[in-house]
């Protein structure tokens, strides 16, 4: 039984191996006897917790009594993401489900779980009975606990008497009263709430093919149990409504209807992916868009045969994930080469045939167009409208970029044209779509493979429904590089000097924006986008004339970078991969790092190759140690108490440990995070500071005394964190330095003079003397002690060997941020190409501010952070800072 005094409960999301414990040994330090497998979906409670190395260590005890339950106490180690905290009200619903797999399915189906929480007495529900092919309808008469069981159970009075197991009594306790064998008690995994959708309201909000449906086309509410008709390619199919809602993970909110058809039409039983939506007989369940259905009585009513009716989109055979698509609003007779069956009409497969065979020399499409009627069961013909099959665009072929008419319009590339076994007389196009489609496949149709593509990207439609993609020119722009493998959006060379946009515009964002990736180029794409999309800090290398020590090919490299990449990026917001490949070819040819054409590299390798080896630009950083570099890698010792470091904190610690200073203010400071390789990170999360105060990192700078505020002349690194959290707390004037170090614990501190220009020091002293002479002690010196700060403008991130970038669009804390991925999407497989994308990221400055640190610390599971913010905090690889003042002179 479950203990009420346990405060934290979890559900296991993945299968794990734990260690069995003796029944009364619940300490983490107790020795284990043997290992035991713990299934995903197991309910657990927390006894002890450790956060060492970012792992939670639990002693877990299962308390369900079903077939998957463990009878022993289990010691189990989990990392974030393997188990989730479960609220008590949710726990009460889950614990009554005896099977771990079914429990996990309900938990992960947030719609089902939310629905279960809302079920109350009197609600109408459907119940899946054991040994029944379909579900039974009933009314909730009891919700609560039952004897000898944990969790919430539901008592349902069934509409069909005699199919239940009791009369409202469960384990000798009467919870409600109903006829004998007319009630059942069950957990939430066996019931679904009956949902009624107002079709009129739904139709008012939805349209197909750009044509909205009026209220007159929906006379009644559609509800569970209604009889409906769907017009398939073989004629009308009748069935009963079993489920109404939006498909799991469908962000468009399109209303879909689950139908159990009278005849085998679908290939499932009411399960969509991993989600159980309803129950139906095997191979009778399908999902139909709301606009694709008619009430059965309306369809078969007199005079309805030739009236327009809505056909709204893909018919999905759930569990098989196969589809047929109509994306336009069709008339009943606009069914291509399929015969329409009416009530009392025998469906026939004799269209364009004689004796069931295609007559030699007959054009099936032409002959079908001439059919004037449909054969009745008594041999009579019913007059119908003449058929007309639209002609397909003769210029369409495999690899044509097309759009499919509908609302919204869909875009893709034709990968296959032909006929299917289901529709031997119709030209069908197999499309690889730009974006995933909820009913898409991987290139299969009705179990037959026609081409290969990513899952949910294949769509099969009649060829005549496709037309050329109007977003692109009818004739491709001449491409001197022959780069047909990178798509049809060209990048024109743009010479001259082009400034970056000063703010974010709509034309900057979306698919096919930024720099297109190709052959492991993400490290280079993300870095170039950070360097040039919204800042001029690196523009010096675009315009510096060649000198005698440069490569002979210097001008060519400079021209390709400026005219083929930077200027088009700033002007057209898009750079095709062939231009980048030309640039990579030059880097590979003239640099000292091999494999630039195709191998995975890191941003620091590219920066060193471009800035140091080929362009020979002045190093960005000049250190007091005598080293010059274009980026600074943080080297620090691991501090277990530093739970959420900022880049400000880390660079101060690194400068202290390495005993270095900056000789001058850099125009750009690139900081490489303390991580090694692509996997190991020293810190779980790092906050890139929006501003980097480098005043105390400079070898020669103007600093103020931490105690009195006077001009500082001495620095004592040994006093770090004694008088404050930052490096600024190590600076003292002469008087305060003497007083501070009179303490016996600080007498041995090693101190160093702070270098201040003699001219500034004299001016400061003179200003102070004048103030004293005027007996105005409150007067400050004429020259204030300002802080030298740099502004964060980009962050490169890495996850599973893939680099992306976050870039600020403009300057100042209020400037918006974008996220760039050069390989966000893909068109085709080996012969295809990547699609880059730029998207706006909200509240970046808010999340990176010091005010958010406490909020972030409270979020234990990284998955609870917004996905883009999670990448920014957890996957940061390089942070780019700029000094807008210094960059103007370099």
Active site residues: 522, 802
Other C-beta atoms lying within 10 Å of the C-beta of residue 31: 10
Q: What is the DSSP string of 535-591?
A: --TTTHHHHPPP-TTS-TTHHHHHHIIIIIIIHHHHHHSEE-HHHHHHHHHHHHHHS
**Phi, then psi, of 409 in degrees rounded to 5:** -70, 140
CB 218 within 8 A of CB 201: no
CB 601 within 8 A of CB 523: yes
**Spatial separation of the C-alpha atoms in residues 601 and 614, rounded to whole Å:** 17
CA trace torsion 276, 281, 284, 286 (10° rounding)? -10
Angle at 236 between CA 230 and CA 237, to 5 degrees: 65
**Spatial separation of the C-alpha atoms in residues 250 and 290, rounded to whole Å:** 15
Q: What is the DSSP string of 355-382?
A: TTBPPTT--HHHHHHH--EEE-TTS-EE
3-state SS, one letter per residue, for 241-303: EEEEECCCCCCCCCCEEEEEECCCCCCECCEECCEECCCCCCCCEEEEEHHHCEEHHHHCCCC
10 Å CB burial of residue 171 (0-12, 13-18, 19+) is exposed
CB 718 within 8 A of CB 695: no
CB 832 within 8 A of CB 839: no
**Phi, then psi, of 624 in degrees rounded to 5:** -65, -20
298 alpha-carbon distance from chain centroid: 43
End-to-end CA distance of the chain: 73
CA trace torsion 886, 888, 889, 890 (10° rounding)? 80
Question: 3-state DSSP call for residue 114?
Answer: helix
**Spatial separation of the C-alpha atoms in residues 152 and 118, rounded to whole Å:** 13
- Nearest to residue 711, comparing CAs of 689, 745, 735? 735
Give the H or E element holding residue 529.
helix 522-532
**Spatial separation of the C-alpha atoms in residues 308 and 606, rounded to whole Å:** 62
**Spatial separation of the C-alpha atoms in residues 746 and 719, rounded to whole Å:** 8
Q: Could you give the angle at which helices 100-108 and 110-118 cross, rounded to 10 degrees?
A: 90
Q: Outline where 62-217 has alpha helix (H).
A: 88-94, 100-108, 110-118, 199-205
Q: What six digits make up the tokens of 451?
A: 């081409």
Looking up tokens 């964190």 gives: 721
10 Å CB burial of residue 243 (0-12, 13-18, 19+) is buried
**Spatial separation of the C-alpha atoms in residues 140 and 159, rounded to whole Å:** 11
Q: What six digits make up the tokens of 859?
A: 């979020």
């Amino acid at each position: 039984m479950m203990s009420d005094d346990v405060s934290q409960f979890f559900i296991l999301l993945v299968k794990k191996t734990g260690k069995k414990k003796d029944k009364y040994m619940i300490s983490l330090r107790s020795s284990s006897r043997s290992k035991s497998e713990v299934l995903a979906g197991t309910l657990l409670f927390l006894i002890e917790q450790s956060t060492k190395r970012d792992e939670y260590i639990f002693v877990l005890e299962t308390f369900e009594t079903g077939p998957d339950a463990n009878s022993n106490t289990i010691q189990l180690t989990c990392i974030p993401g393997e188990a989730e905290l479960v609220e008590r009200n949710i726990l009460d619903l889950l614990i009554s489900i005896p099977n771990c797999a079914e429990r996990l399915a309900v938990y992960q189906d947030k719609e089902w779980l939310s629905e279960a929480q809302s079920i109350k007495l009197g609600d109408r529900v459907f119940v899946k009975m054991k040994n029944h092919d379909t579900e039974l309808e009933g009314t909730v008469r009891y919700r609560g606990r039952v004897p000898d069981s944990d969790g919430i159970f539901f008592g349902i009075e069934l509409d069909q008497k005699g199919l239940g197991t009791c009369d409202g009594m469960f384990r000798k306790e009467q919870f409600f009263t109903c006829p004998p064998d007319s009630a059942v008690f069950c957990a939430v995994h066996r019931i679904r709430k009956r949902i009624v959708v107002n079709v009129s309201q739904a139709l008012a909000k939805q349209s197909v093919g750009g044509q909205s449906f009026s209220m007159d086309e929906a006379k009644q509410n559609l509800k569970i149990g209604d009889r409906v008709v769907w017009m398939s390619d073989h004629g009308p199919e009748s069935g009963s409504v079993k489920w109404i809602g939006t498909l799991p993970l469908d962000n468009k909110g399109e209303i879909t209807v689950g139908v159990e058809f009278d005849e085998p039409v679908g290939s499932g039983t009411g399960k969509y992916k991993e989600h159980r939506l309803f129950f139906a007989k095997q191979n009778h369940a399908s999902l139909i868009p709301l606009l694709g259905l008619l009430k059965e009585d309306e369809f078969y009513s007199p005079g309805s045969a030739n009236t327009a009716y809505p056909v709204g989109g893909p018919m999905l055979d759930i569990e098989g994930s196969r589809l047929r698509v109509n994306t336009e609003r069709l008339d009943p007779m606009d069914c291509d080469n399929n015969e329409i069956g009416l009530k009392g009409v025998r469906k026939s497969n004799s269209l364009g045939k004689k004796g069931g065979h295609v007559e030699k020399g007959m054009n099936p499409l032409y002959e079908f167009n001439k059919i004037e009627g449909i054969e009745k069961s008594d041999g009579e013909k019913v007059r119908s409208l003449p058929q007309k099959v639209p002609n397909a665009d003769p210029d369409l072929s495999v690899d044509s970029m097309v759009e499919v008419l509908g609302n919204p319009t869909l875009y893709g590339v034709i990968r296959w044209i032909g006929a299917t076994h289901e529709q031997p007389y119709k030209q069908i196009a197999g499309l690889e779509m730009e974006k995933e489609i909820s009913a898409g496949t991987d290139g299969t149709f009705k179990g037959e493979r026609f081409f290969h593509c990513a899952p949910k990207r294949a769509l099969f439609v009649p060829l005549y429904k496709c037309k050329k993609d109007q977003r692109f020119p009818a004739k491709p722009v001449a491409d001197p590089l022959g780069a047909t493998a990178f798509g049809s959006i060209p990048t024109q060379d743009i010479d001259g000097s082009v400034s970056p946009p000063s703010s974010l515009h709509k034309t900057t964002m979306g698919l096919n924006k930024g720099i297109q990736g190709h052959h492991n180029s993400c490290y280079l794409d993300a870095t170039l986008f950070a360097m040039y999309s919204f800042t001029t800090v690196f523009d010096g290398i675009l315009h510096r004339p060649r000198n005698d020590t440069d490569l002979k090919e210097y001008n060519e490299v400079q021209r390709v970078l400026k005219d083929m990449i930077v200027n088009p990026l700033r002007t057209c917001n898009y750079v095709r991969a062939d231009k980048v490949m030309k640039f990579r070819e030059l880097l590979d040819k003239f640099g000292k790092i091999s494999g630039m054409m195709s191998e995975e590299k890191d941003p620091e390798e590219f920066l060193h190759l471009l800035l140091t080896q080929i362009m020979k630009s002045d190093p960005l950083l000049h250190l007091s140690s005598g080293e010059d570099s274009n980026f600074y890698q943080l080297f620090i010792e691991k501090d277990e108490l530093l739970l959420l470091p900022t880049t400000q904190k880390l660079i101060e610690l690194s400068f202290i440990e390495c005993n270095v200073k900056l000789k001058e203010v850099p125009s750009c400071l690139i900081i490489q995070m303390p991580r090694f390789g692509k996997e190991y990170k020293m810190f779980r999360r790092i906050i890139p500071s929006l501003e980097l105060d480098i005043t105390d990192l400079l070898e020669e700078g103007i600093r103020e005394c931490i105690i009195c505020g006077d001009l500082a002349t001495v620095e004592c690194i040994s006093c770090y964190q004694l008088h404050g959290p930052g490096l600024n707390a190590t600076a003292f004037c002469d008087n305060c330095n003497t007083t501070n170090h009179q303490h016996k614990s600080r007498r041995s501190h090693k101190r160093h003079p702070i270098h201040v220009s003699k001219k500034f020091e004299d001016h400061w002293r003179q200003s102070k003397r004048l103030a004293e002479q005027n007996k105005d002690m409150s007067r400050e010196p004429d020259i204030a002690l300002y802080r030298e700060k740099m502004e964060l403008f980009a962050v490169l991130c890495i996850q599973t060997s893939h680099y992306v970038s976050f870039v600020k669009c403009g300057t100042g804390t209020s400037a918006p941020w974008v996220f760039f991925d050069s390989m966000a999407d893909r068109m085709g497989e080996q012969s295809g190409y990547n699609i880059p994308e730029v998207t706006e990221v909200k509240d970046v400055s808010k999340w990176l501010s010091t005010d958010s640190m406490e909020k972030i610390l409270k979020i234990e599971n990284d998955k609870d952070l917004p996905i883009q913010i999670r990448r920014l905090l957890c996957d940061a690889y390089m942070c780019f800072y700029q000094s807008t003042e210094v960059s103007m002179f370099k």
